[in-house]
Amino acid sequence: MKKIQLSLIYLSVAIAALVSVNSYSQNRTVLAEAERISGDRFMIVTRTPQGAVVNALTRPNRETLAAIDAGLTELFEVARRNGYRKALRYSDYTIYIAKADREKDADGRYSPDIAVPSAQYAGSAYDKGGFIYVAGIVVALNPCAFMIAEHTKDYSRISTAVRNEGEHLVLYHNDRKRFGETADHSKGGGHPILQ
Q: Which region, judged by CB under 5 A, interacts with Zn ion, from 2-10, 88-96, 97-105, 146-154?
A: 2-10
Give me the half-sphere count of Cα atoms (radius 13 Å) on the Cβ side of residue 62: 0
Minimum CB distance to Zn ion, residue 189 (Å): 8
- With respect to Zn ion, which residue has the nearer C-beta, 88 or 193? 193
Among 1, 2, 3, 7, binds Zn ion (CB under 5 A): 7
Helices 156-174 & 62-81 angle (0-180, nearest 10): 40
Examine residue 186 and tell whether it contacts Zn ion (CB under 5 A).
no
- With respect to Zn ion, which residue has the nearer C-beta, 94 or 160? 160
Examine residue 12 and tell whether it contacts Zn ion (CB under 5 A).
no
The residue of the chain with the least Cβ separation from Zn ion equals 7
What is the distance between the terminal CA atoms of the chain, rounded to a whole angstrom? 20
> Alpha-carbon torsion 102, 76, 63, 28, what sign?
negative
Torsion, CA 182, CA 98, CA 161, CA 179, rounded to 10: 20
Which residues of this chain interact with Zn ion, rule CB under 5 A?
A: 7
